């Protein structure tokens, strides 16, 4: 569409061209013909052209002003439309900002999940290495025992080796079951050797996890103390506790330190109980001081794994006679290290009591008894 200004310019150009041609012709003719009236006519035409030009300009100006007024009338609507478009753009920007924020939160969540997964993998690796170390030590001990089963001619005792193989498999299986049942990243002591064997430890954990067991007393602290506390924690038995009697200060402190490192120190009370003389059926023994156990009652599980045999013959015999009155009506007793002659003799003497009977089906190296109140 031709704008008002452009129309004005085109009209002016036409008028100028026409006027110039007319004046040129008339002036030329007047000069050639020496006719004054032609010169006058030229002057007249100039006046006419000027008048026409003025009129045309006036008309074009009017048209231009009309068009300008029309554009001004539509201006507010255009501004409103622009404002609406701007508002729409602002809304879109807000939605985009919200989407970006949500995306950032999801990225943060993914990063947290990644960090957690890395931590869990590190924990699993630590557990696997610990279990491998335990298996390796059990295997080494088994091989050493196997070597002792070979006579002087270098010929192995096939029956003993077969029994040893079965025992080794049982110990490895028990180790795997215990660590699967009681997973931890902490400094857990090793089983076997001077400590209770894995098979014996599994029996202890099974009995301690029974719902009716709330008070456990053990004679002699150490590895069994740690696993008892872990079993109670794993079973969620908030009211159950362990009381451990230990006659040596250094071993009591070591056990307390290990419990604290695992966050289990509130589960166990390790009592220092120096050995003192006690007479039972006209026989003298060294056993834990009376002050360390006289407040105990309702014992549901009694583990007899101390004092050490080096403290005297049948060193663990006093456990049942002394603590019998403190046992619950259906308490269970475990006597460890029954591969030794002294412990077997202790068990034979205990079984003469009408209130005690041996439970069958438990592994070699331990005797498990059922107590019933008279």
Give the residue among 258, 371, 262 at the shortest CA–CA distance from 319. 371
Contact 164, 146 (CB under 8 A): yes
Give the residues across from 327 on adjacent strands: 299
Which residues make Cβ contacts (< 8 Å) with residue 151, sequence separation at least 6? 157
Please report, for residues 55, 219, 224, 300, 318, the alpha-carbon distance to residue 289 in angstroms, rounded to integers and kept in the order given: 135, 12, 21, 21, 12
Q: Across residues 96-100, what is the average pLDDT?
A: 79
Q: Which sequence spans correspond to the domains of the chain?
A: 1-119, 190-371
State the CB neighbour count (10 A cutoff) for residue 229. Answer: 27
Q: CATH for 190-371? A: 3.40.50.150
According to DSSP, residue 89 is labeled H
The residue assigned the tokens 């034979």 is 348
Where residue 134 falls (left for φ over 0; alpha for ψ -120 to 50; beta otherwise) is: alpha
Most confident residue range from 70-79, 175-184, 233-242 = 233-242
CA 319 – CA 337 distance, rounded (Å) = 14
In three-state secondary structure terms, 271 is strand
Q: Across residues 312-335, what is the average pLDDT?
A: 94
CA 352 – CA 357 distance, rounded (Å) = 9
Contact 208, 243 (CB under 8 A): no
Q: What is the pTM of this model?
A: 0.59
**In the predicted model, what is the mean pLDDT of the chain?**
80
pLDDT in tens, 44-63: 766 777 666 667 666 776 77
Give the angle 150-152-156 at the CA atoms, nearest 5°: 25
pLDDT band at 19 (very low <50, low <70, confident <90, very high): low
Q: What is the pLDDT of residue 172?
A: 87
């Amino acid at each position: 569409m031709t704008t008002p200004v452009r129309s004005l310019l085109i009209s002016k150009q036409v008028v100028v061209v026409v006027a110039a041609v007319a004046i040129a012709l008339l002036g030329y003719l007047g000069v050639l013909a020496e006719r004054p009236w032609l010169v006058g006519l030229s002057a007249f035409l100039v006046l006419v052209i000027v008048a026409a030009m003025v009129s045309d300009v006036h008309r074009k100006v009017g048209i231009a002003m009309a068009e300008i007024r029309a554009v001004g009338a539509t201006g507010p609507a255009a501004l409103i439309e622009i404002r609406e478009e701007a508002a729409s753009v602002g809304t879109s920007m807000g939605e985009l900002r919200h989407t970006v924020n949500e995306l950032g939160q999801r990225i943060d969540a993914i990063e947290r999940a990644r960090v957690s997964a890395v931590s869990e993998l590190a924990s699993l690796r630590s557990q696997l290495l610990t279990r491998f170390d335990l298996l390796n030590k059990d295997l080494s001990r088994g091989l050493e025992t196997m070597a002792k089963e070979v006579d002087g001619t270098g010929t192995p005792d096939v029956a003993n080796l077969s029994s040893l193989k079965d025992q080794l498999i049982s110990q490895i299986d028990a180790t795997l079951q215990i660590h699967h049942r009681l997973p931890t990243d902490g400094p857990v002591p090793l089983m076997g050797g001077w400590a209770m064997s894995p098979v014996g430890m599994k029996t202890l954990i099974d009995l301690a996890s029974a719902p009716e067991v709330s008070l456990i007393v053990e004679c002699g602290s150490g590895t069994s103390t740690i696993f008892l506390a872990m079993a109670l924690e794993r079973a969620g038995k908030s009211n159950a506790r362990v009381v451990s009697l230990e006659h040596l200060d250094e071993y009591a402190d070591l056990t307390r330190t290990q419990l604290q490192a695992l966050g289990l120190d509130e589960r166990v009370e390790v009592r220092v109980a120096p050995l003192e003389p006690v007479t039972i059926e006209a026989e003298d023994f060294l056993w834990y001081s009376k002050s360390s156990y006289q407040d105990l009652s309702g014992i549901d599980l009694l583990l007899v794994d101390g004092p050490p045999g080096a403290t005297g013959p049948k060193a663990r015999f006093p456990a049942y006679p002394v603590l019998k009155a403190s046992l619950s009506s259906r308490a269970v007793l475990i006597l460890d290290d029954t591969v030794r002659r002294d412990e077997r003799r202790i068990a034979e003497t205990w079984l003469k009591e009408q209130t005690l009977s041996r439970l069958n089906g438990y592994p070699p190296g331990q005797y498990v008894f059922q107590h019933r109140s008279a």
